[in-house]
Amino acid sequence: MPEQKLSSGASIAIIGAGIVGVASACALQRNGYEVTVYDPDPPGEGGPSRANAGHVAASDIHPLSTPGIQWKALKMLTNPNAPLKIPVRDALAQIPWFWRFWQTSRGSRFETATRALSYLSRYAFNDIHKMLEFAGLSNMLVNKGGVFLYDTEQSFFASRAVWAKKSAAGFESEEIDAKRIAYDVPSINDKFRHGVHSYGWGQVQDPLDLVRGLARSAQSNGVVFIQNRVNGLSEGKHSVTLETDDGGKLHDAVIVAAGVGSVQFAKSCGDFLPIAAERGYNLTIQDPGVELDLPLVFADRGIVATQVTSGLRIGGWAEYARPDRPANQNYYKSIARISQELFPGLNMSNTNYWMGNRPSLPDSVPVISRSRHTHRVYYNCGHGHYGLSFSATSARLLCELIVGDRDLSKHRTYSIDRFI
């Protein structure tokens, strides 16, 4: 299907008011489009944007599926404290997704995914800064780096090859010893002897406040937010119709940024979008008696910690299960126990628990693409746990695609066509 430019002033609907959908709305509005955002929940409140860790993971340039991942995954599945979880009742349904996941770790597919993620990472901070500056929210981005901590000397030494590749890609870091760790993170368990300070890392003060602030800015500039559920969409000759709880809504084009719900819209358009729910578990501890100056990544545990406006947020893991499954209460208990081990002085008397469905694709690369079957439907989804990190850059790429940027070569890696 030939590329077609969407003229400035056209009416564009966005399905989804998470960070990716709201960032897309901001970018499209700045490019002269009339934008309407649909979501049954207020901006940021219906998905993983509500209570994620708030990290800007700009130095994560490799897909989750790395060479040898199949053996690592089998080992993790036998360890109750490992970050990978697949409930037995959902295991069979996950096989096709994990087959594609494993394929990503092989040869050219791994390199292709790495190049795609490297581009998003390279521009992440710059694009987020521009987005927040336009909205008057620059103070919400904290760019002082992040600290990666390793439980064992063996895992620390094994990580050096990865850090060397990140350094070659332009993301600087430095190794830190026990003395430096104690200085940077005085509240941490003194068992940690090895770490890395990554300068290609950062955080926002609060991810939900960020989405709300961006939505307010967008609204003040003419973007319309409608708290309504979209149940389906259909294309006509000159428009696309969104079937909502309040009837049909006509627009010139639609952007699908609905997280794990994007799958149903892609299916209705005849597109195959293999998004799985990568469920993350977080605890937000108010008055924790512990304060962090830098975001932390416990590399061997799949756990991160961040000081956010509402307290100390600790969590992570990746449970691949049906998105409508209730949260596993045992995971909360495990993360709480691990948290007290990591921070011996932690006060957990006032703790909020949260689980979110992160929309994950097998190659870790989001889809920023037009539908294969209609020129009025576009996708900006499948960011996994990099939604915040890559939101602004994804929105910029989406705009370049819609406006009709002459150089479309960088978009092909993010195309939905790769899943044919």
* Degrees, nearest 5: CA angle 179-180-181: 90
Residue predicted with more confidence, 74 or 18: 18
Model confidence pLDDT, tens digit, residues 341-377: 999 999 999 999 999 999 999 999 999 999 999 889 9
pLDDT band at residue 404 using 50, 70 and 90 as cut-offs: confident
pLDDT band at residue 8 using 50, 70 and 90 as cut-offs: confident
Give the number of other CB atoms < 10 A from CB of residue 330.
9
Model confidence pLDDT, tens digit, residues 109-127: 999 999 999 999 999 999 9
> For residue 147, what pLDDT is reported?
98
- CATH number given to 11-68+105-419: 3.50.50.60
* Degrees, nearest 5: CA angle 356-81-56: 45
β-partners of residue 380 are: 368
> For residue 190, what pLDDT is reported?
94
Percent of the chain clearing pLDDT 70 (strictly above): 98
Residue 404 CB-half CA count within 13 A: 8
Per-domain residue ranges of the chain? 11-68+105-419
> For residue 410, what pLDDT is reported?
66
pLDDT band at residue 78 using 50, 70 and 90 as cut-offs: confident
Cα–Cα distances in Å, from 184 out to 46, 47, 296? Answer: 35, 32, 10
> For residue 3, what pLDDT is reported?
54
Mean pLDDT on 82-90? 92
Model confidence pLDDT, tens digit, residues 262-297: 999 999 999 999 999 999 999 999 999 999 999 999
> Residues 6 or more apart from 322 whose CB is under 8 A from it?
90, 93, 277
User: What is the separation, in whole angstroms, between the first and last Cα of the chain?
Assistant: 15
Q: What contacts 24+ positions apart, CB below 8 Å, involve 1-8? A: 1/370, 1/372, 1/373, 1/375, 3/370, 3/404, 3/408, 4/375, 4/404, 5/402, 5/403, 5/404, 6/33, 6/252, 6/253, 6/402, 6/403, 6/404, 8/32, 8/33
Global confidence as pTM: 0.95
